[in-house]
Amino acid sequence: MANFFLVLWAVTPPLLLLIYYYRRVSTAPSLLRLLLFFVFGAISGFVALSLGWVVETHINSFAAWREIRRTLVGVALRQVLVVGPIEEGCKIIAVLVPSWYFQRRYRLRPSSIFLFTIAVALGFTAQENWIYLFHETASVFDRAIGTPVHAMFSAPWGYALALFLQSKTQLRRYTPNIPRSWFNSVICHALVNFLSSSWRYPAPLFFLSYGLFPFFVWMFWRLEQLLRKVQGKTPIILISGYTPQHRLWEQGLVVFALMLGGNAIFGLFLLVRSFNSLSPSQVFYPGTLWLLLSRFLLNLIFGLVAWTIYCYLRYSARRRYFK
């Protein structure tokens, strides 16, 4: 029974997110087919785990590598050369092979192939959730927060693959480069794992971890933009200035909003983790309660400022567009 609930906690958040994207796309394939790709993603996760174990077993036989991997540079190299390529490689194969088969029988829309990518990535996430929860190396809350991460990693090559497969049935002037898009995903994958590991090191390396959640927000924005593109919708425009100075000012506002919004989410994430570590009696101590409330309000204010900047840029872009 315990294993059943473990699987339930691992699978439920990715499945809910898959249904959310399924409901958002009006021309989505059948839910049953998406669930099939979800299973393919989980299988690819186990394949990636096995391949990663084999590769790391071999390279750990070198004494020089064992010394390097203890440093932050070694962490970065491991992510770029081993973890990122294996995991993104297994995911793209899990999308490409069945999509190619279905494309020969049906004329799949780009939005369908992009949804297949999301389904595979979420299936991969479910498998990864189960591994973490089974070995008790992460909490349910931690894994739930990270549910969309693999989908955000895979968005560039999923978009490129969608347009490439469509170009086989329809004449298109431009299709994104799949190897380049895949490499982009590998770098993003490696960078996220690198930033999430930096908090273990002393300052100033510790402060690199504050770039993690702003990077998450940017990747989520990119996922949403690519989803709009494959549906034939116009992208959401934030940079709309006519002069270089004005565009530079707007780009600075975007970066500032990402930093504020991302670290507001990061602060709330740390606050919930701190709250979970307290007993019910400790929560209602006057000092503890005030600390929790003040940090919540501070992060909420930062988040509202970031949202205000976003709304200002959207309003400016609409006003210039309809002028």
Which residues, 6+ apart, have CB-to-CB distance to 290 below 8 Å?
none
Burial of residue 312 (number of CB atoms within 10 Å: 0-12, 13-18, 19+) = middle
Structure tokens at 254: 């975007």
One digit per residue, the tens of pLDDT, for the chain of length 323 reads 567 778 888 999 999 999 999 999 888 888 999 999 999 999 999 999 999 999 988 888 888 787 888 788 888 889 999 999 999 999 999 999 998 888 877 778 889 999 999 999 999 999 999 999 888 888 888 888 889 999 999 999 999 999 887 765 554 555 678 899 999 999 999 999 999 888 777 777 788 888 999 999 999 999 999 999 999 888 888 888 788 888 899 999 999 999 999 999 998 888 888 777 666 666 666 677 778 888 899 999 999 999 999 999 998 888 776 55
Q: Give the separation between CA 89 and CA 179, rounded to whole angstroms.
A: 11
Count how many residues are written for the chain. Answer: 323
For residue 54, give the amino acid letter. Answer: V
Do 217 and 149 meet the contact criterion of CB atoms below 8 Å apart? no
Burial of residue 13 (number of CB atoms within 10 Å: 0-12, 13-18, 19+) = buried
